[in-house]
Amino acid sequence: MSTQPRVLAGSIGECCIKGVKHTGDPVGRTETIAGVETYVSDPPTSYSGPKRVVLYFADVHGPFLINAKLLQDYFASRGFHAVGLDYFFGDPIQNHDGEEGWDVMVWVNKARKVADEVVPRWIDAVREKYGADADYSAVGYCFGAPYVMDILNTDKVVAGAFAHPAFLNEDHFRNIKKPLLLSCSEVDMTFPTEERRRAEDILAEIKATYHVQIFSGVVHGFATRGDPEIENTRWAKEESARSIIEWFIRFSKK
């Protein structure tokens, strides 16, 4: 009798929904790729380095929340074409804030089913758009983490990263072939310490190339929805983004 792999990062909880809306002026645009609306942010015109693309797998708030747009813009400012698909098709979780009788798990299960279907063809379409000569990396936040782990089991990216993940089991870590950065909060009910350490043990056992960063004093969601008015939270959010893009640069063509 087969046994299911141990769950290491659980389902969506209250911590995945809370957060602070950021402020700024996004510079990207919306394109339709493989039938999916996608936020696209390009490197500055002065950039003359190798072609690099980061696949952005959003948390439950989607790639068009201003927080996500600004994060993708930052990745673009470092020389990457940042592309984030809206696998919620215009129905991110914030649309249901305060909605009477709304069932979060019904929404989550529907969203996962749709995302599981559209992500593979979207990835292939992005690769066709930017070409085989580009270096591709992938980052996932919360809901988006398993899509990063799936693609790390292929040769379609050079590296991946996630922050405060959901929906991961032991096999996600056991099967990766590409470098992984884990950007984690000290307190995370979705990816608790014991389960994170089990993930680290698996990565060590398979001799993966990986890096784990743990930020004290922050909670699940810090990398996308952390309060910039709190110095430690702002630093953790910014350092997570910087570390992720430096990780991708490390494994890309120079």
Total-model pTM:
0.96
Q: Is 162:240 a contact under the CB 8 Å cutoff? A: no
For 31, the 3-state DSSP assignment is strand
Q: What pLDDT does 112 receive?
A: 97
Q: What pLDDT does 200 receive?
A: 98
Q: CA-to-CA distance for 230 and 113, rounded, in angstroms?
A: 36
By DSSP bridging, strand 159-163 and strand 168-169 are unpaired
Q: Is 142:220 a contact under the CB 8 Å cutoff? A: yes
All structural domains of the chain, each given as residue ranges with its CATH number in brackets, are 29-93+104-251 (3.40.50.1820)
Q: Is 57:140 a contact under the CB 8 Å cutoff? A: yes
Within 13 A of 139's CA, how many CA atoms are on the CB side? 30
Q: What pLDDT does 99 receive?
A: 82
Q: Is 139:161 a contact under the CB 8 Å cutoff? A: yes
Q: What pLDDT does 168 receive?
A: 98
The residues carrying an active-site annotation are: 142, 188, 220
Q: What is the mean pLDDT of each run of 10 residues along the chain (254 residues)?
A: 85 80 96 98 94 97 97 98 98 88 92 98 98 97 98 98 98 98 96 98 98 97 95 98 98 86
By DSSP bridging, strand 81-85 and strand 52-57 are parallel
By CB atoms closer than 10 A (0-12, 13-18, 19+), residue 45 is: exposed
Q: CA-to-CA distance for 243 and 213, rounded, in angstroms?
A: 9
Q: What pLDDT does 2 receive?
A: 56
Tokens, residue 9? 């990062």
Q: What pLDDT does 143 receive?
A: 97
DSSP 149: H
Q: Which of these, 9, 1, 84, 77, lies nearest to 40 by C-alpha position?
A: 84
What strands lie across the sheet with 29-33, from one edge to the other?
29-33, 36-41, 81-85, 52-57, 135-141, 159-163, 180-187, 210-219
